[in-house]
Chain A
């Protein structure tokens, strides 16, 4: 029996593949056609082949489990790609470039003149309470004025088809390696579709990453020495750190591999003695990178690293302090930030956001907590949030208290009916919710990944796409409409 989508029903949600019952969107027709030509079990078989490939390729992520401690899980992947028309993508790409350009101007401003505060566009009390503003970075001039060299912005599509930016990750965003690996796996699984669809390739990301990093080198030499600084093998994204280091030909280092000498330059300990490091792509959070300046109990960092960076002797990506703009309260101001620095309207809208710091907005939130998603300002990975419509009375009470106690720390957004994509469940397909995380590189120029990482909530009805909480991912195809 062929696999039909007659029973497929995304309900009120926008489905990325089906425009209605049994009605494929134009770009999905071919894919649906392939499903129709399949027999019972074919789909499950291809999914099993993909799972096996992932297992053999060792594509993993690390999760913490109370019973078993740190465990390495195979990367959950769904074989059905998510397809986006090139025409729509061009607009998204431009919107992301605009957004990151503005965010970098904003960060640079915060660490220098703070004109945006002086001009009354951004409230000083938000900055005053920011957990990620680093006093130690005030007055520093990183190369090209760029602070957030690598940004991962999460996009979601609402019921009416509008795409929103849900958040910007400017600290140590992860996921790009899975985007690259997903493509390799999909090529194995659906080779026949690549001929007709010709999805735009994603593989040039690592070259661009290397070039961006190399451009931060203080020494103008042909092959600057680049290192990826990882917290180590127990970090959930360790796979990615190793992967990226390998792809860009960088050394994968831990804090203990590096030292800052009396000349304020960074060196790595090698079998032939100390060797100078020009650029560090650090995947260690600000608080841990330099125990001399930040948390002095950190064993993940390098004593003196900030000193070396301030002296201009090493490039750091992302720059320390860039996380000031990675804050859900700051997020609420991004449209104003874009208008202020660029004099343009935002290309991609923000999700309407209520800022609990303002009494009027807070009252609204407290009155409508059942309909809203409440998020703390500085958490990532979907932790510490409340999804109103699915919460219990006790949870709502607890969050109302949290908000009253520390209003600056919370924002609220309407629950979006985030879009779905057909996903393999057993022998057939069912709708599952997805988001999209494109990665934006900023150096001398800005470049955006072709598509990004589509994350999918594999549990039925779930909206949580984080891999630490039952999420998986899909390949993302940017396709020219014929």
Chain B
């Protein structure tokens, strides 16, 4: 497997996952807004915070209101993390590697990108938003499912898996980080039902509500949700599960040494920390450490497998 190709597949997979996660975020927030009592706006800026693109947002929009945030996250071509940009980047990466991917996967992604491009204006209207986001989520899942069901389990598959799971682990920590703090003003959090609503929305963003209710508890509470989203080893969007999947994928490759030690470090950190007991500020710190660990793992993958940067001009 060519290094360049491995890198493209890795990013392709990350971008598709990012598009899906962003669609989930917007969808869940839209639902949450409809559930909150009159006079209380849970706010849209946390969504920008989750994606870590606040500076980019400020450079193009003034007010972090619904309209602006949704436009920024869904259709802004200047936002590298918007759904449209993510799908465009995924498509560009896919285009350069389509000979190693199942042909139908390129067709699917191309179709998804074209859909997003052609329907983005509808997606920006209140009435069209939900349908648009559902299509993005369904299309991304079809793409991922297609790879899972027909792709040869060679290195290409493992890199797709690494990209998807790293992106997913990263996004899960971001969602928890922002959602556990900023959703409602503190004085309102005393209200039990709003607190519950907030954690339900976190679970819903990650499609984990149903699994949580079936396997963890009927009551939705902060300690249980945190435990579930960080430590559950069988929920596919929990941080531990994603890191374990990276462990397995990496295990199928050669030359894993340094990257693998990063993975083990993350697993150890997850095992040794009882997140349910963490105060808000220690939780934030812990998440920071995890994200740094994920970034380090990423840079080690780059170093071990992807193309070294182009040599500088030889006369230099």
Does A221 sit at the interface, judged by CB under 8 A?
Answer: no
Contact B1 A269 (CB under 8 A): no
Which residues of the other chain, A, contact B254 by a CB distance below 8 angstroms? 271-273
Does A251 sit at the interface, judged by CB under 8 A?
Answer: yes
Complex: A134 Cα to B5 Cα, angstroms: 33
Known contacts A246-B103, A256-B307, A257-B3; A271/B255 CB under 8 A = yes
Does A254 sit at the interface, judged by CB under 8 A?
Answer: yes
Most buried by A among B6, B99, B107, B253: B99
1/0 contact string of A255-297 vs chain B (CB within 8 Å): 0110000000000111111000000000000000000000000
Known contacts A256-B4, A271-B305, A272-B254; A245/B110 CB under 8 A = no
1/0 contact string of B95-112 vs chain A (CB within 8 Å): 111111001001100110
- Of residues 234 through 259 on chain A, the ones whose CB sits less than 8 Å from some CB of chain B are 238, 242-243, 245-246, 250-254, 256-257
Which residues of the other chain, A, contact B307 by a CB distance below 8 angstroms? 256-257, 269
Does B60 sit at the interface, judged by CB under 8 A?
Answer: no
Known contacts A251-B2, A256-B310; A58/B99 CB under 8 A = no
Closest to A250 in B: B99
Closest to B93 in A: A233
Does A56 sit at the interface, judged by CB under 8 A?
Answer: yes
8 Å CB contact of B2 from A57, A233, A238, A268: A268
Contact B98 A246 (CB under 8 A): yes
Q: Is the interface of B mostly helix, strand, loop or mixed?
A: helix
Does A37 sit at the interface, judged by CB under 8 A?
Answer: no
Contact A270 B255 (CB under 8 A): no
- What's the nearest-Cβ distance from chain A to residue B302, in Å? 12
Contact A58 B110 (CB under 8 A): yes
Which residues of the other chain, B, contact A254 by a CB distance below 8 angstroms? 4
Closest to B301 in A: A271
Contact A257 B98 (CB under 8 A): no
Contact B110 A56 (CB under 8 A): yes
Complex: A299 Cα to B96 Cα, angstroms: 17
8 Å CB contact of B96 from A233, A243, A246, A271: A233
Closest to A233 in B: B96
Does A23 sit at the interface, judged by CB under 8 A?
Answer: no
Closest to A253 in B: B2
Complex: A272 Cα to B107 Cα, angstroms: 29
8 Å CB contact of A246 from B2, B92, B99, B310: B99
Contact B2 A257 (CB under 8 A): yes
Does B114 sit at the interface, judged by CB under 8 A?
Answer: yes
Does B276 sit at the interface, judged by CB under 8 A?
Answer: no
Does B155 sit at the interface, judged by CB under 8 A?
Answer: yes
Contact A271 B3 (CB under 8 A): yes
Contact A257 B107 (CB under 8 A): no
Which residues of the other chain, A, contact B2 by a CB distance below 8 angstroms? 251, 253, 257, 268-271
Known contacts A242-B95, A246-B99, A271-B155; A58/B3 CB under 8 A = no
Which residues of the other chain, B, contact A57 by a CB distance below 8 angstroms? 107
Closest to B103 in A: A246
Which residues of the other chain, A, contact B103 by a CB distance below 8 angstroms? 246
8 Å CB contact of B4 from A56, A257, A273, A299: A257
- What's the nearest-Cβ distance from chain B to residue A49, in Å? 16
- What's the nearest-Cβ distance from chain B to residue A378, in Å? 29
Size of the A side of the interface (Cβ < 8 Å), in residues, is: 25
8 Å CB contact of A242 from B1, B99, B155: B99
Contact A271 B1 (CB under 8 A): yes
Complex: A251 Cα to B100 Cα, angstroms: 8
Does A55 sit at the interface, judged by CB under 8 A?
Answer: yes
Which residues of the other chain, A, contact B107 by a CB distance below 8 angstroms? 56-58
Complex: A256 Cα to B255 Cα, angstroms: 21
Which residues of the other chain, A, contact B6 by a CB distance below 8 angstroms? 271
Contact A58 B106 (CB under 8 A): yes
- What's the nearest-Cβ distance from chain B to residue A278, in Å? 16
Closest to A252 in B: B99
1/0 contact string of B180-200 vs chain A (CB within 8 Å): 000000000000000000000
Complex: A153 Cα to B155 Cα, angstroms: 40
Contact B3 A269 (CB under 8 A): yes
Complex: A37 Cα to B5 Cα, angstroms: 50
Which residues of the other chain, B, contact A268 by a CB distance below 8 angstroms? 2
Which residues of the other chain, B, contact A250 by a CB distance below 8 angstroms? 99
- What's the nearest-Cβ distance from chain B to residue A238, in Å? 8
Closest to B304 in A: A271
Closest to B94 in A: A58
- What's the nearest-Cβ distance from chain A to residue B152, in Å? 12
Known contacts A233-B92, A242-B98; A270/B1 CB under 8 A = yes
1/0 contact string of A216-238 vs chain B (CB within 8 Å): 00000000000000001100001
- What's the nearest-Cβ distance from chain B to residue A218, in Å? 21
Most buried by B among A251, A256, A271: A271
Contact B99 A270 (CB under 8 A): no
Most buried by A among B92, B98, B107, B155: B98
- What's the nearest-Cβ distance from chain B to residue A438, in Å? 25
8 Å CB contact of B1 from A232, A246, A272: A272
Which residues of the other chain, A, contact B4 by a CB distance below 8 angstroms? 254, 256-257, 269
- What's the nearest-Cβ distance from chain B to residue A276, in Å? 13
Which residues of the other chain, A, contact B97 by a CB distance below 8 angstroms? 252
- Of residues 247 through 271 on chain B, the ones whose CB sits less than 8 Å from some CB of chain A are 253-255
Which residues of the other chain, A, contact B255 by a CB distance below 8 angstroms? 271-273
Complex: A250 Cα to B107 Cα, angstroms: 20
- Of residues 139 through 183 on chain B, the ones whose CB sits less than 8 Å from some CB of chain A are 155, 159
Which residues of the other chain, A, contact B1 by a CB distance below 8 angstroms? 270-272
Complex: A251 Cα to B2 Cα, angstroms: 8
Which residues of the other chain, A, contact B96 by a CB distance below 8 angstroms? 232-233, 242, 252
Which residues of the other chain, B, contact A242 by a CB distance below 8 angstroms? 95-96, 98-99
Closest to B255 in A: A272
Complex: A238 Cα to B99 Cα, angstroms: 11
Which residues of the other chain, A, contact B110 by a CB distance below 8 angstroms? 56, 58
Complex: A340 Cα to B300 Cα, angstroms: 63
- What's the nearest-Cβ distance from chain A to residue B274, in Å? 37
Complex: A456 Cα to B155 Cα, angstroms: 42
Which residues of the other chain, B, contact A56 by a CB distance below 8 angstroms? 107, 110-111
Closest to B159 in A: A271
A-B contact pairs, 27 of them (CB 8 A): A56-B110, A56-B111, A233-B95, A242-B96, A246-B103, A252-B96, A252-B97, A252-B99, A252-B100, A253-B2, A254-B4, A256-B4, A256-B307, A257-B3, A268-B2, A269-B307, A270-B1, A271-B1, A271-B2, A271-B159, A271-B253, A271-B255, A271-B305, A272-B155, A272-B253, A273-B254, A273-B255
Cβ-closest 9 pairs across A and B: A246-B99, A245-B99, A271-B305, A58-B110, A272-B254, A269-B3, A271-B6, A252-B99, A242-B99
Point out residues on B near A: beta carbons under 8 Å: 1-6, 92, 95-100, 103, 106-107, 110-111, 114, 155, 159, 253-255, 305, 307, 310
Besides the known contacts A233-B96, A272-B253, 17 further A-B residue pairs in the complex with CB atoms under 8 A apart: A55-B114, A56-B110, A58-B110, A238-B95, A246-B98, A246-B103, A250-B99, A251-B2, A252-B96, A252-B97, A252-B100, A253-B2, A269-B2, A269-B4, A271-B2, A271-B155, A272-B254
